Amino acid sequence: MIDTRRRPEPGADAVRSGMDVPLEPAPCNSSACSIRPTCAVSLQSLGLRFEHRSLSVFRQFDEFSRINPVVKAPTLVCNDGTVLMDSTLILDYAEAMATGGRSLMPRDLAGRRLALRRIGLSLAACEKAVQIVYEHHLRPAEKLHQPWVDRVTGQLEAAFAALEADLGTRPIAADSSALDQGDVSVAVAWAFTQAMLPGVVSIERHPNLHAFSALAESLPEFRAAPHGDSTYHAPD
């Protein structure tokens, strides 16, 4: 639930999502447990109250299907029961609900163009990372098609190479007051890929991305992201 007026009651309408990509969560002793969902970070940054539930589209398929029959993460259940899905659409709705002029999308055309570019590259990177994980962890080994995996890996590396070059010429300030949606997406995409596919995308070749993601993870919006209303609100 997003509700800027009151604290949600337990079990009420909720942001019910696993990650922003539909992956089986890793065991809790894995570094993947610290991955921040993009929607949760963004809702924290916009000062919107919500309840977050982490559900697996695999292990908890039946439970997820009772919330959203399509079983797509992330899913948002609004106060009136309307179910929204897809992080881009959820964040568009969140932007419309934010009060006090808050927005994670730059209003000037050049800034908005840059944010959209970074969001697009980050989404592409996450999509390719998911495809690789599926191939190695869900598809039987005898059916794995290595040329296709190699192509997808090349696309993943290309997305991060573009982001690394972009940050080299137009760096991001890892500061709550300056954070925009492109920044959130970049940090989450890098952390997600490193957690789920360690060693596939070289940290050494992407120092700007690695440094920015580490700084972003230290911000209160990121630290509180999985916990919703109980932990952090953007300042009024």
Render pLDDT for 201-212 as a digit per residue (tens, 0 to 9): 999 999 999 999
**Residue 16 pLDDT exceeds 80:** no
Q: Are residues 24 and 117 in the same domain?
A: no
Of the candidates 104, 129, 149, which is a domain's last residue? 104
Overall domain count for the chain: 2
Q: Are residues 52 and 144 in the same domain?
A: no
Q: What is the arithmetic mean of pLDDT over 145-158?
A: 95
Residue 86 inside a domain? The answer is yes
pLDDT tens digits, 167-211: 988 877 667 888 899 999 999 999 999 999 999 999 999 999 999
Q: Are residues 87 and 118 in the same domain?
A: no
pLDDT tens digits, 103-120: 999 999 999 999 999 999
pLDDT of residue 82: 95
Q: Are residues 26 and 71 in the same domain?
A: yes
The boundaries of the domain holding residue 140 are: 109-220
Residue 74 CB contacts under 8 Å (≥ 6 apart), including other chains: 15, 16, 17, 18, 19, 20, 37, 39, 85, 86, 87, 90
The model's pTM: 0.80
Q: Are residues 24 and 43 in the same domain?
A: yes
Q: Are residues 24 and 116 in the same domain?
A: no
What CATH number did the domain enclosing 85 receive? 3.40.30.10
Strand order in 15-16's β-sheet? 52-53, 15-16, 75-77, 83-85
